[in-house]
Structure 1
């Protein structure tokens, strides 16, 4: 558990955990907005709006549940949204449903919000962009060069999730960030939900993934710990 503790202590002491939550809000919302823009018909746009509304309702209904873990709440929420769509004779990809549920979680009162003028203050402002498998365009050095021209100082790349997922673009995103001289760090999305043994497995998986993707030695590796008991503990 030493690795997990060090990662967690680092994220709390620097305020990076809250930055990751903010970044998640910045990028999950554009994913759905992009889907709306690409929708070819009014019906498709209305379907996406319906999915967002269902996700908001379901996540809110699970706030008071203390008998199931955060991970199980997430699964229950996606399942309920899917069943509601089925009952209406509608369908959507699993990825769209999960993205809507994650968005509902991020903007709900289950996620702590830290205002720029409050909360954790380190005395140093470091401007970075968080990217994951949703940002294939971040594999291009030109994309980061443009960000650099807008005063961005670094990139935080999602490397892994749980014990089986690796960002398929992670290695090239890291290389692109390094190519333009920006600071680079990585993060792991936790799925262990309070399970110590699984936490150790995930920590080992995150570190091995960081090495495999050529994250520079000494780079910060942040734990994005959102799906936990109660979702907001």
Structure 2
């Protein structure tokens, strides 16, 4: 994203969101939207692209909140480690990893607005997060820990990413997946580590609370 485009994206995010905290992570401040439909429509107009992906970056989804909370509760998970927040959304897990002493934190997203939001949210919380504006699936492993906030919500997405994530686990990375009960995450090859009750809204989910399990993904 060019400097001019980045500036336009930042202005758009400021206009469409408000700075707020999340239920599970008091003290963490993020640029968040209150409703999905208006910001989705506004994003389509801003990017001049109909049928774009939903603006996942504008919300603190249950999976990301739970994963970030797990790291805040047990910072040794990331201390001194090279961390990737994969499909990072608003960057909530990346920010908490940086606050918890990770040696390096990278956040990968293919949505240019998400990239801008991650940078803004990191700055808002006084941490450094390197953004990767690309699909990193297929990249060789250069991370110690890979954080996956909630990535198995569609069959095509799961089929695209899961073999790579398992390969990353086989290469020695600790791959942590937050599962709020999505249908497409396989039940096998996961070791549950913790469970978190995350308040949510009917605007985003099918209930007012999601129970999210943080699990380690095994190589096979």
After TM superposition, the score normalised by the length of structure 2 is 0.42
Return the structure number with greater helix share.
1
State the structure with bigger RCO (CA 8 A, min sep 6), 1 or 2: 1
After TM superposition, the score normalised by the length of structure 1 is 0.40
Rg: which structure is higher? 1
